[in-house]
Amino acid sequence: MTPRNNMLLSDKDAAGESFVSTSLLGLSMVSFDPIPLNTANALLVEWGHKMGPCKRGNAVGWSHALIHEGRPVAVTVTASLIRERVGGAAHLTRENCIELARLCAARPGLCRVALRLWREFVFPALPYEWAMSYQDADIHNGNTYRFDGWKRIARARSGTDTRSGRPGRDKWVWVYPNSPNVASDLSRPIATTENHQRPDGRD
């Protein structure tokens, strides 16, 4: 077996076969770490995210990257809601809900990995009952959220983006509860609304 990236062939598995060990070098093959928003935004541009960088002024937010062998391969951007309430789901407010505003990866398949890590480790550490995210109704099918256990609860249409002039688009609202105590609210019927927040073109 040929070493990769100067890693050491030093350990053996149960069958006695050698395998690459990064632990001896103090390295981690994969990690999910906080990164500055400007770094996340640069990656969103590099990887061609449909909505581009996340720029929300003084919004509260956190950014994380899935790192593989020292290189970012997926990013998440978490941000407070733009409006006071989520369109089509008025029970979701700035006080009880946080938005996964961007989800993007360098190659197919990694958005699901980043989403699961975000949902399992980042979201539970935040002081919000609900997470929500928008899915462009025309570009994506929503399977990334569906297969991760999120619930689609509303359909909305955004107004024209006042900064870029980009026309509004149809979008689905997906939510995930931070504890079983609020999960019963997922039974609320799907609603529709218009002229709310901008959609994020993600699965």
- Choice among 12-21, 123-132, 169-178 with the minimum mean pLDDT: 12-21
Length of the chain: 203
Q: Is the pLDDT of residue 98 over 60?
A: yes
Summarize the confidence of residues 139-159 as an average pLDDT. 83
pLDDT tens track for 52-88: 999 987 778 999 999 999 999 999 999 999 889 887 7
Average confidence (pLDDT) over 128-147: 85
Distance CA 122, CA 90 (A): 24
Conformation bin of residue 154: beta by default, left when phi > 0, alpha when psi is -120 to 50: beta
Domain ranges of the chain: 1-27, 35-196
Between the CA of residue 93 and those of 19, 62, 84, 118, what are the distances in Å? 50, 18, 6, 20
Inter-CA distances, 47 with 13, 41, 105, Å: 37, 10, 7
Q: Which CATH number does the domain 35-196 belong to among 3.40.630.30, 3.20.20.20, 3.40.190.10, 3.40.50.300?
A: 3.40.630.30
Instruction: State residue 190's pLDDT score.
Output: 47
Q: Residue 77 — φ and ψ, nearest 5°?
A: -125, 120
Look at residue 127 and tell me whether its pLDDT is greater than 80. yes
pLDDT at residue 159 in the model: 58
**pLDDT at position 57, please?**
79
Confidence of residue 141 (pLDDT cuts 50, 70, 90): confident
Range 23-32 burial, b when 16+ CB lie within 10 A, else e? eeeeeeeeeb
Residues 195, 161 contacting (CB under 8 angstroms): no
